[in-house]
């Protein structure tokens, strides 16, 4: 195989200087056919918990590069085994695929980048053995928590990676605040989301504040100014509390007095007896009169229903209880009415389980069931010790207190969405806690805090409807990179925003009628990054955008928006809304346009009646010379009255119909049929 003789030799992370990574070993080396033909090599480093998996393509398809995936949490080197979207994409791109457990579940957080670097370096050793002497180019990528870790790796100055693609990234002030402000809004607005969503849908009023009382308006304005994208409320039932249950122990451990101050000290929401926090507080003492233990029935649907949500903690519960599943408790008395039990716990105040707590699942009359929550496994051993006569407290106090923790954590001015919590003199409106938790959580997850100073080149992929890593947070990181690179920013950095996409990195979205997968854009970013590094081919320009009051907005025209995503503009009978009668034909017209030099439109598909299956292929009525702009027209008549939201979804590609790099977008209109 011919190799590039002129490849630059970058300084490598020298594992021989680190006693933890001097003795690599391989325990599996075999050819596999799924998801594509590849040579699988698994191993680790002797005397450590570090493990790795390498997936090498056949020699004839290898182009001297690797893609290194970093998962949100360390612990598995096989997170993508069998994943065509990761392994298949890498092999189709002439790359081998690398993943590791980042040292395993270790208290030494620096292993995130040290173990990752050692694994990447050793992958090159094996590549040289398989394909002949050379130094493969290396590109690391990861999203969400893996985005923090990816940035930590590329900023660690090991010289191992030539570039990085962090995606759906947060800032050092993202956790837990993105989730606290979101859950606060969800508690207050729980009955108003249908009207908010309708206002934001095409053909709606556009006024999402209409019909809200003062408290509701303030909550919606607060979460919006913090950066939550309002159009994402369509999924309020699905997104829930996100990672808050995983992050809340950090607040309990670092700032335990907050949960008392919240209810007692002026300036905190809970100290106001007229606040909604006080009104929905559940702080109810009672006594268990009967412990109802259920015979385990295996994995039947009824058994799963009784368990009310299975997670890893619940699996631990099953193991602790032997042949029994979770008990339920009959109570001497129970609260009634419209109870807020999200995040509520059963706190045992007497008996052998005194001091322990378990999450509440449901309260049905005088019976309370157990739910699931992060860290629940630490308490399950006490469930068998609970007896009639044990006193308990049903309590949601801590969860309510968490929901406004962000108000008491005002950071430095570069985190500009916190300006809403300052008075005209720049002083905090609310009491401030003595310790700023966000950067500590970020460091604890990645081993460093983003600085913007990295080696190589980088493309950041961020989504405009991200419910967990708010869109403005990628701009925050861009400003850090700008501070480091100055006028050379465009020589080494891109930021691409993807519209109509949320946080999850999956081909299967939770609602194909509102959102698209961004994986095609992510894969294109990896290919563009490799071309940028290896051949000097500059990728498409960064997305043009503006930020106001925490919200990122992009131009409506593709040429002005830039980035790599097609822009779809759809109209029904010439507008965003059409009012018609049953059987009346509706005329749909759409324009699909790509930013310059980003490929061509390869497909479009219609879903008129909300099936989510896009059963009708779109027909291009006009196409420009290079295929970057098309016009599509269609007619459709609805046979039943109702409100419909027809959708046109389009795909573009740089390389024809390559399945891995199709970049998607969609547009919706409203049709009211009477």
**pLDDT value at residue 311:** 26
Phi, psi of 434 (to 5 degrees): -75, -15
CA distance linking residue 308 with residue 314, whole number of Å: 10
Is residue 198 pLDDT above 80, yes or no? yes
- For 80, half-sphere exposure in the C-beta direction (CA atoms, 13 angstrom radius) is 28
Mean pLDDT of the chain: 90
Return the minimum-mean-pLDDT range out of 325-329, 380-384, 438-442, 460-464. Answer: 380-384
pLDDT band at residue 156 under the 50/70/90 scheme: confident
- Residue 302, pLDDT above cutoff 80: no
pLDDT at 321: 34
Structural domains in the chain plus CATH codes: 15-173+444-535 (3.40.50.1820), 282-395 (2.40.30), 566-673 (2.60.40.650)
Give the per-residue pLDDT at 380: 61
Q: What is the pLDDT of residue 13?
A: 45
Contact 96, 56 (CB under 8 A): yes
Give me the pLDDT at residue 14, please. Answer: 57
pLDDT band, very low/low/confident/very high, at 435 (cuts 50, 70, 90): very high
Of the candidates 187, 637, 595, 207, which has an alpha carbon nearest to the alpha carbon of residue 404?
187
Question: What is the secondary structure of 183-203 as a DSSP string?
Answer: HHHHHHHTTTHHHHHHHHSTT
CB 140 within 8 A of CB 117: no
* % of residues, the chain, pLDDT over 70: 91
Pairing relation of β-strands 65-69 and 137-143? parallel
Q: Is pLDDT of 409 > 90?
A: yes
Please state the separation of Cα 428 from the chain's center in Å: 30
Q: What confidence score (pLDDT) does residue 160 get?
A: 92
Range from 289-298, 431-440, 469-478 carrying the lowest mean pLDDT: 289-298
Collapse the DSSP code of 625 into the 3-class scheme (helix H, G, I; strand E, B; otherwise coil) and give the result: coil
How confident is the model over 83-116, as pLDDT tens digits? 889 999 999 999 999 999 999 888 888 899 999 9
Here the tokens at position 195 are 């009207």
**Cβ count within 10 A of residue 299:** 8
* Residue 304, pLDDT above cutoff 70: no
What is the chain's Cα-based Rg? 27
> Residue 293 has what pLDDT?
81
CA 114 centroid distance within chain: 25
Question: What is residue 245's predicted lDDT score, i.e. its pLDDT?
Answer: 84
Choose between 508 and 522: higher pLDDT: 522
| Mean pLDDT on 420-443 | 96
User: How confident is residue 315, by pLDDT bands cut at 50, 70 and 90?
Assistant: very low
Per-residue pLDDT, 357: 87
Whether residue 325 is predicted with pLDDT greater than 60 in this model: the reply is: yes
Q: What pTM did the predictor assign?
A: 0.91
Cα 429 to its chain centre, rounded Å, is 31
Q: Tens of pLDDT along 533-557?
A: 999 999 999 999 999 999 999 999 9
Q: SS3 sequence, 594-646?
A: CCCCCCEEEEEEEECCCCCCCCEECCEEEECCCCCEEEEEEEEECCCCEEECC
Give the whole-angstrom CA distance, residue 168 versus residue 152: 15
CA gap 663, 567 in Å, rounded: 11
What pLDDT is attached to residue 7?
Answer: 42
- Residue keyed to tokens 């807020």: 340
More confident: 110 or 373? 110
Q: How far apart are CA 115 and CA 74, in angstroms?
A: 11
Tell me which of 658 and 28 has the higher pLDDT: 28
At 376, the pLDDT band (50, 70, 90 cuts) reads: low
- Beta-sheet pairing, 163-167 with 457-463: parallel
Find the angle CA(524)-CA(553)-CA(607) to the nearest 5 degrees. 65
pLDDT at res. 157 = 77
Q: Is the pLDDT score of 313 beyond 70? A: no
H-helix or E-strand spanning residue 112: helix 111-131
Please say if the pLDDT value at position 375 is more than 70.
no
Omega before 176 within 30 of 0, i.e. cis: yes
Share of the chain above pLDDT 90, in %: 80
Region 332-347: mean pLDDT is: 92
Quick check: 634 pLDDT over 90? Answer: yes
Digit-coded pLDDT (tens) for 266-281:
999 999 999 999 999 9
Phi, psi (rounded to 5 degrees) for 251: -70, -45
């Amino acid at each position: 195989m011919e190799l590039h003789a002129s490849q630059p030799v970058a300084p490598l992370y020298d594992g021989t200087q680190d006693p933890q990574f001097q003795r690599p070993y391989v325990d599996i080396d075999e050819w596999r056919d799924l998801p594509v033909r590849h040579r699988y090599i698994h191993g680790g480093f002797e005397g450590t918990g570090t493990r790795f998996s390498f997936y090498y393509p056949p020699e004839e398809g290898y182009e001297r590069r690797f893609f290194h995936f970093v998962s949100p949490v360390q612990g598995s080197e096989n997170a993508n085994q069998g994943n065509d979207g990761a392994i298949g994409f890498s092999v189709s791109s002439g790359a081998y695929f690398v993943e590791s457990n980042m040292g395993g579940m270790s208290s030494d957080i620096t292993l995130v980048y040290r173990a990752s670097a050692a694994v990447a370096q050793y992958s090159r050793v094996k590549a040289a053995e398989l394909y002949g002497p050379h130094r493969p180019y290396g590109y690391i990528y990861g999203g969400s928590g893996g985005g923090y870790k990816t940035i930590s790796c590329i900023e660690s100055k090991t010289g191992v990676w030539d570039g990085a693609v962090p995606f759906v990234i947060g800032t050092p002030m993202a956790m837990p605040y993105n989730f606290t402000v979101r859950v606060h809004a969800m508690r207050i607005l729980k009955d108003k989301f249908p009207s908010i969503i309708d206002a934001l849908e095409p053909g709606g009023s556009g006024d999402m504040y209409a019909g809200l009382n003062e408290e509701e308006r303030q909550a919606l304005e607060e979460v919006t100014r913090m950066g939550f994208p309002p159009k994402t409320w369509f999924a309020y039932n699905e997104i829930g509390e996100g990672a808050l249950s995983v992050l809340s122990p950090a607040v309990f451990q670092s700032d335990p007095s907050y949960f008392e101050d919240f209810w007692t000290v002026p300036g905190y929401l809970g100290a106001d007896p007229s606040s909604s926090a006080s009104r929905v507080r559940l702080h109810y003492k009672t006594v268990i009169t009967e412990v109802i233990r259920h015979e385990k029935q295996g994995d039947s649907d009824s058994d799963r229903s009784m368990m009310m949500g299975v997670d890893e903690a619940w699996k631990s519960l099953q193991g602790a209880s032997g042949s029994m599943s979770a008990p339920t408790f009959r109570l001497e008395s129970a609260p009634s009415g419209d109870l807020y039990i999200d995040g509520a716990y059963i706190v045992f105040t007497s008996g052998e389980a005194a001091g322990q707590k378990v999450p509440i699942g449901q309260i049905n009359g005088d019976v309370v069931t157990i739910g699931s929550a992060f860290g629940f496994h630490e308490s399950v051993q006490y469930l068998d010790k609970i007896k009639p006569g044990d006193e308990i407290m049903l309590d949601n106090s801590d969860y309510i207190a968490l929901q406004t923790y962000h108000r008491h954590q005002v950071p430095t001015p570069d985190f500009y969405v916190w300006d809403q919590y300052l008075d005209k003199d720049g002083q905090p409106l609310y009491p401030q806690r003595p310790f700023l938790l966000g950067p500590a959580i970020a460091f604890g997850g990645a081993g460093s805090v983003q600085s913007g100073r990295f080696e190589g080149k980088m493309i950041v992929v961020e989504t405009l409807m991200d419910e967990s890593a708010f869109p403005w947070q990628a701009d925050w990181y861009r400003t850090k990179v700008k501070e480091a690179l100055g006028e050379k920013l465009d020589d080494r950095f891109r930021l691409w925003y993807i519209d109509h996409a949320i946080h999850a990195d999956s081909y299967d979205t939770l609602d194909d009628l509102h959102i698209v997968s961004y994986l095609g854009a992510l894969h294109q970013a990896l290919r563009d990054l490799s071309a940028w590094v290896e051949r000097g081919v500059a990728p498409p320009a960064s997305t043009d955008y503006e930020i106001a009051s925490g919200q990122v907005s992009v131009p409506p025209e593709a040429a002005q928006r830039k980035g790599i995503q097609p822009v779809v503009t759809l109209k029904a009978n010439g507008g965003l809304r059409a009012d018609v009668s049953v059987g009346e034909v509706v005329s749909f017209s759409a324009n699909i346009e790509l930013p310059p030099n980003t490929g061509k439109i390869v497909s479009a598909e219609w879903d008129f009646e909300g099936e989510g299956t896009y059963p009708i292929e779109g027909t291009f009525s006009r196409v420009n010379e290079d295929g970057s702009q098309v016009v599509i027209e269609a007619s459709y008549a609805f046979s039943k009255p109702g409100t419909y939201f027809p959708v046109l979804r389009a795909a573009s590609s740089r390389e024809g119909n390559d399945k891995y790099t199709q970049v998607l977008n969609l547009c919706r209109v409203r049709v009211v049929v009477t």
